[in-house]
Amino acid sequence: MRAKTAVVLGAQWGDEGKGKIVDVLSERFSAVARYAGGHNAGHTVIIGEHKFVLQLIPCGVLRPGCKGVIGNGVVLDPIAFLSEVGRIRELGVAVDGNLFVSNRAQVILPYHRMIELAAESAPGRKKIGTTSRGIGPAYEDKMARSGLRVVDLLHTELLKTHIEAACAEKNAIAHALFGTDPLDPEKMYEEYAAAAEKVRPFVADTSRLLNGILASGGSLMFEGAQGTMLDIDHGTYPFVTSSSATAGGAATGTGVGPTAIGTVISVTKAYVTRVGGGPFPTEIHDNAGDLLRQRGNEYGAVTGRPRRCGWLDIPLLRYSNQVNGAEWLVVTKLDVLDELEEIPICIGYEIDGKVTDEIPADVHGLEAIKPRYTTLKGWRQSTEGVTEFDKLPKAAQEYLAFQERESGAKIGMVSTGPDRGQTIVLPKFAAELDDITS
């Protein structure tokens, strides 16, 4: 019998529209658990006239009866978390008793932001294009076994001792390397001790909670952050995030065993985008890129930064499906392509004169890629809001069929607009979801 769980993640560099997809699917699940990243990830959900931009809180909390869980693989900024809780409370979302934070999650503190901002701005340093929110340095401290966990945040004496020791070390490092002014440990302690008391009601052993839901016959969705090509191991290193964004991170980042993963649902745009630095083989450098950016509103949900736009990259999508074991694809923003007469799709690479469809592991190889394209006919009519596959233009159906055939995963859903209702759910996918969640 298939496990009653599903992982939903991004197939490329994030911003694929996972927030809407998790929201649409979450009505079927008992809980949605976020397993990686921090408040650098923005998931936008539009429900009627309301727009929700969630950075830490799983999208499941927007569904009555669905619990939201922030897993141990997430790094938590307590101040950002409480601010987000306040915003969605004001919009009428019932968070109390429905939202839980792992007691084993790592905590982001101001010195993490100080170090990251100084390092990213330092002359001669390779700029990764981070959000400078302290995510990377918090994960560095986690791996160095010198981090502060949520369970420690709640013990005032331990918190005070930790902040004093960490500030002594981080202030010295930041001043020596970057000339940064020191942070005040006493002021930091007072702010975070007060925040800890407000975070306390949300804290739980979330591994126990999630496994208990499964044991009682409930179903779980694991919500990914960023995208596969930003994964610390499998992405375009070093232009990656600091956590495991791929499907494997769902187990390590929540404390639910890998044998409990039922299916993996990979979300891809009908084209590709990327924010920040790093290689992007199919990036568009002409007016077509501006058109996609304008029609797709391609600006970061958290930072507002314009996203780089590119054509669909089949070798990259195939690689993503491989490392995630993706069984299903969800294609978003199909309607953004409505005005194009022809649509290029990358079907292979040329690297240093050799034809390949293998993703290079090194930056040089990635930057040396010359994409090899085929061109499909556009449909030049609106697909916005279409909810039945058979009512899509024939050329749009052929575009999706090509993507499915070449990527190695089955298309289960197609998004034709930002609202919940602007979604096509294919029958075989609906049947599988029924099987998982019933």
Task: Point out the residues that are catalytic.
Answer: 15, 43
User: What's the rounded Cα separation, in Å, for the pair 389 and 414?
Assistant: 8
- Within 13 Å and on the Cβ side, how many CA atoms surround 314? 23
The sheet with strand 410-415 has its strands ordered as 203-204, 99-102, 67-70, 31-34, 220-223, 5-10, 263-269, 328-332, 410-415, 423-425
**DSSP assignment, residue 174?**
H
**Helical segments of 154-204, H only:** 156-178, 185-199
Please say whether the beta carbons of 26 and 235 come within 8 A: no
User: What's the rounded Cα separation, in Å, for the pair 103 and 207?
Assistant: 10
- Could you tell me where the beta strands, DSSP code E, fall in 218-363? 220-223, 263-269, 272-274, 308-310, 328-332, 342-351, 354-356
> Of 321, 262, 266, nearest to 21 (Cα)?
266
CA distances from 412 to 63, 331, 404, 432 (A): 21, 8, 10, 10
User: What's the rounded Cα separation, in Å, for the pair 243 and 266?
Assistant: 18
Rg (CA), the chain: 22
- Within 13 Å and on the Cβ side, how many CA atoms surround 176? 6
Site of tokens 């076994």:
145
Phi/psi for 352 (5° steps) reads 50, 40
Phi/psi for 251 (5° steps) reads -75, -50
